[in-house]
Structure 1
Amino acid sequence: MREHDLDLYRRIEAQDENALELLYDRYEKLLFSFAFRMTNNKFLSEEVVQEVFTKLWTKKGMYDESKGKFSSWLLTITRNTSIDLLRKKKETPYELEERDALLDERPSTEEVVEWKESSERICTAVKELTSEQQEIIELFYFKGMSQSKIATTCNIPLGTVKGRVRLALKHLREKLSNVQERGVRE
């Protein structure tokens, strides 16, 4: 029987190396692909994964189950570590600036993680977005660009960028909830 992530995390807090190995085996490929999508660099992505598991091993009491799924939290750490390493090494083709302070307009990290965990359904849903919305989602989530930077890079108004992000997320949520409720694609 497969042990739950939370149980493995608690064992890691107690310095159980086997639990760390089990979580590594479970999440290494997902974290690597998520980091690679952000960094576009194999070696940097490997460094991100190593850093994430080092943080997991050395910092006790970081995960709070009341704030969301363990996998969402782990991918949030991966995302932040990717951005930190890109800034530190200055290997990104885009200038990584602070995200817009408009938190209420940003989707939560948990939403992004759930999309990643259901990659086949997500790929199908993303393909149904307009090409403009697909481009905005790619730049915002996987290239680490702020909405302001996207507006400048794409030469479109900031309001248009925000609207496309909101509309794309709305369409993705609808399509994914339909698939989840019915178990079939519409």
Structure 2
Amino acid sequence: MEKSSDTLLYSRIREKDKDALEYLYDRYEKILFSFLYKMTQDRDLAEEALQEVFIKIWRGVGEYDDSKGKFASWLFRMAQNSAIDLIRKRKKPTVPLDEVAEMPSGESSVEQTAEWQEEKEHIQAAVSQLSAEQQEMIQLFYFKGHTHEKIAELCGLPLGTVKSRIRLALSKLKKTLHGMQERGAIDE
């Protein structure tokens, strides 16, 4: 399948195109799993949340609206919500990025562990390039699972400022990770 925009793939998935779903999954699986694993610190939980995201997309749960933001932001938010729901069911806390433990060695092969470490380093490097305010927003929103409203309350900021900082941070992260991928630092 030729390289397609996320919104085009999403439209095709809405028409029950299995190839489009597979292509979208291949495009986001690694980064979403890494994000979910950091959030849950549980490989099984991260895999379950990842699966939930793509099942919801296939079933048309929670429609994407391009007027409300970028597809990748919507996808990560959907992943975060799926993980939070599963965490609440299991009553396990989320963990901040700087406290994320290494993947347990008994649960994966050496190659998977090396790949996980490499992905973790790429994401941490990208996050470290954000401003302190943006890092705090990413930390509170994605890794601690707070709502926009709760972040605004915690930081004493207007809700619009919180949303803008998160959107800007995600945009910068996307550009940074894309640049790393173009330079060959990240495999597709």
Which residue pairs with 1:162 in the alignment? 155
TM-score w.r.t. the length of structure 1 is 0.59
After superposition, the Cα gap between the structure-2 partners of 1:118 and 1:19, relative to the gap in structure 1 and judged at 3 Å, is: same
Give the unaligned 5+ runs of structure 2: 96-121, 180-188
Q: Which has the larger radius of gyration?
A: 1
Map residues 110-149 of structure 1 onto 2, 5 A cutoff.
120-125=125-130, 129=132, 138=139, 141-144=142-145
Q: Equivalents in 1 of 2:25, 2:84: separation in Å?
A: 21
TM-score w.r.t. the length of structure 2 is 0.58
Q: Percent identity, aligned pairs only?
A: 46
Q: Equivalents in 2 of 1:93, 1:65: separation in Å?
A: 29
After superposition, the Cα gap between the structure-2 partners of 1:42 and 1:67, relative to the gap in structure 1 and judged at 3 Å, is: same
Which residue pairs with 1:10 in the alignment? 11
Deviations 1:1-49 (A, max 9, x none): 4111111111111111111000000011111111112111111000000
Q: Equivalents in 1 of 2:4, 2:33: separation in Å?
A: 22
After superposition, the Cα gap between the structure-2 partners of 1:89 and 1:123, relative to the gap in structure 1 and judged at 3 Å, is: same
Q: CA deviation at 1:140?
A: 5.2
Q: Tell me the secondary structure at the aligned position of residue 125 of structure 1.
A: coil
RMSD: 4.0
Deviations 1:35-73 (A, max 9, x none): 112111111000000000000001267111111111111
The one-letter amino acid of 1:53's match is F
After superposition, the Cα gap between the structure-2 partners of 1:134 and 1:70, relative to the gap in structure 1 and judged at 3 Å, is: closer
Q: Equivalents in 1 of 2:126, 2:94: separation in Å?
A: 29
Which residue pairs with 2:79 in the alignment? 78
Please say if residues 94 and 145 of structure 2, whose CA atoms lie closer than 8 Å, have aligned partners that are also in contact: no
Q: CA deviation at 1:141?
A: 3.5
After superposition, the Cα gap between the structure-2 partners of 1:18 and 1:119, relative to the gap in structure 1 and judged at 3 Å, is: farther
Please say if residues 13 and 61 of structure 1, whose CA atoms lie closer than 8 Å, have aligned partners that are also in contact: no
Which residue pairs with 1:114 in the alignment? none
